[in-house]
Amino acid sequence: MAKYCKEKKILFMLVTVDIPNIYTPEGERKYKTIDSTFDAYFFENDLENYATSLNIEYLGLQRIFRQAYEKNPVPLHWFHWNYEGHKVLANALAEKLKPILASNKHEW
């Protein structure tokens, strides 16, 4: 998909969603009791490196959701994001896109 978008001069951004119940410190601790090497940011780090290797935009939500939860410890999910989770996502996406759109870095 990234290659196709580049050929068509379309912005491509890889976004990894947060893992429900692991964005909380309590959730992370639960998994660490099962496996002490558990890394809540493994997928985010791995896919950010992958996006960098492809020279595409990347937005990882695991840390963003953790930071939002630590600032305001309210649930961010039902089965999917709840209203608060969607606010976190919308703000993160807007902040990511703002400098990209302002720079005219990509053709549309």
Q: What are the tens digits of pLDDT across the range 24-72?
A: 999 999 999 999 999 999 999 999 999 999 999 999 999 999 999 999 9
Dist CA 23 CA 30 (whole Å): 12
Identify the residue with better confidence: 58 or 101.
58
Residue 20 has pLDDT above 70, yes or no: yes
Dist CA 97 CA 13 (whole Å): 10
Superfamily of domain 2-103: SGNH hydrolase (3.40.50.1110)
Return the half-sphere exposure (C-beta side, CA atoms, 13 A cut-off) of residue 65: 28
Its pTM stands at 0.88
Dist CA 60 CA 16 (whole Å): 5
Q: pLDDT class for 101, splitting at 50, 70, 90?
A: confident
Q: pLDDT class for 23, splitting at 50, 70, 90?
A: very high
